[in-house]
């Protein structure tokens, strides 16, 4: 995938429109990153579902390196590469294209993590979830084929082995279909097992899936579509509509879903945490 994009973008100048998109990406994802850090920090500090000892440093680490944070940093870095020169060489094109494609992984990982957070809605402390163990395993497990699919697609493009890219694309489609089915099943069946906040979070994740589908279609069109889908020299409108805007919509919905499932404004939050701490001390 990456090699085909590079070959189609070789010896081409980056258009002013593409540079404007890069500037917009830096601005928007900087805002997203700076917004999600304090929100995620407060959620980590107030709920803390990890087995490690709670500390401010760990809360800050988890907030900075959240999946949304990683996506934002990848997008900022890729756009910075795009703005660094108007005549990029092959190495720069490969790096920018790889970052563009790899950005799907944090988005799909965040779907998994937000759904797991919905299962922990209303619960405090490590290891507590309303989901049965097989469901938690499924929500954790679909991240692995996502990583394999993205890596196959990128590596297949770099080494110019089409079979690897095709295998990665097929695996990505199959895994995303599984994720969609899983989220639909959760949306239908979790009403009776999750708190209201958790179920609303699942519904928000479900609402994000159509936008994520468009982003995945764009990912596939980068490889198999016409030259207008080239992220470097292709149509600016296509990149903005199917790439940037879809990612922004998905990120906003996932951040909202996590905020709904793990509210930091809950009136009973302090009492619940104190009760959880008392139970832990009693053990």
Chunked mean pLDDT (size 10), the chain, 283 residues: 49 72 93 94 87 89 93 90 74 71 87 93 79 91 90 78 86 94 93 90 96 92 75 73 92 95 69 46 44
**Does residue 262 lie within any of the structural domains?**
yes
Instruction: Tell me what pLDDT residue 269 has.
Output: 52
Residue 46 is inside which H or E element, if any? helix 16-47
Sign for the CA dihedral angle at 275, 276, 279, 280 comes to: negative
**Does residue 222 lie within any of the structural domains?**
yes
**Does residue 157 lie within any of the structural domains?**
yes
**Does residue 280 lie within any of the structural domains?**
no
The CATH number of the domain where 109 resides is what? 1.20.1070
Instruction: Tell me what pLDDT residue 234 has.
Output: 64
**Does residue 250 lie within any of the structural domains?**
yes
Instruction: Tell me what pLDDT residue 137 has.
Output: 92
Please state, in angstroms and rounded to a whole number, the distance separating the CA atoms of residues 80 and 96. Answer: 9
**Does residue 95 lie within any of the structural domains?**
yes
Please state, in angstroms and rounded to a whole number, the distance separating the CA atoms of residues 212 and 12. Answer: 30
Please state, in angstroms and rounded to a whole number, the distance separating the CA atoms of residues 27 and 30. Answer: 5
Instruction: Tell me what pLDDT residue 81 has.
Output: 82
Domain count, the chain: 1
Written as six digits, the tokens of 154 are: 């990128």
**Does residue 269 lie within any of the structural domains?**
yes
Please state, in angstroms and rounded to a whole number, the distance separating the CA atoms of residues 240 and 135. Answer: 36
Q: What's the domain range around 217? A: 2-273
Greatest pairwise CA separation for the chain in angstroms:
69
Burial (CB < 10 A; 0-12, 13-18, 19+), residue 265, is exposed
**Does residue 39 lie within any of the structural domains?**
yes
């Amino acid at each position: 995938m990456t090699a085909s994009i590079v070959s189609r973008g070789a010896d081409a100048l980056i258009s002013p429109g593409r540079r404007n998109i890069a500037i917009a990406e830096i601005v928007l994802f900087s805002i997203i990153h700076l917004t999600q850090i304090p929100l995620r920090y407060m959620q980590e500090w107030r709920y803390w579902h990890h087995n490690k000892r709670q500390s401010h440093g760990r809360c800050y680490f988890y907030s900075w390196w959240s999946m949304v944070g990683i996506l934002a940093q990848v997008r900022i870095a890729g756009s910075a590469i795009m703005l660094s020169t108007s005549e990029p060489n092959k190495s720069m094109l490969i790096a920018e294209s790889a970052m563009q494609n790899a950005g799907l992984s944090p988005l799909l990982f965040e779907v998994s993590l937000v759904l797991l957070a919905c299962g922990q809605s209303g619960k405090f402390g490590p290891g507590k979830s309303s989901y049965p163990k097989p469901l938690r395993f499924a929500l954790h497990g679909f991240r692995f084929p996502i990583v394999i699919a993205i890596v196959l697609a990128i590596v297949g493009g770099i080494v110019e082995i089409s079979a690897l890219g095709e295998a990665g694309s097929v695996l990505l489609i199959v895994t995303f279909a599984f994720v969609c089915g899983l989220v639909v099943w959760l949306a239908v069946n979790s009403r009776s097992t999750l708190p209201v906040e958790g179920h609303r979070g699942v519904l928000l994740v479900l609402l994000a899936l159509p936008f994520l589908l468009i982003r995945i279609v764009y990912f596939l069109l980068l490889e198999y579509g016409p030259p207008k889908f080239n992220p470097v020299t292709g149509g600016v409108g296509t990149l903005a509509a199917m790439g940037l805007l879809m990612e922004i919509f998905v990120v906003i919905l996932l951040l909202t879903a996590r905020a709904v499932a793990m509210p930091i404004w809950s009136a009973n939050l302090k009492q619940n945490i104190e009760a959880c701490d008392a139970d832990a001390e009693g053990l």
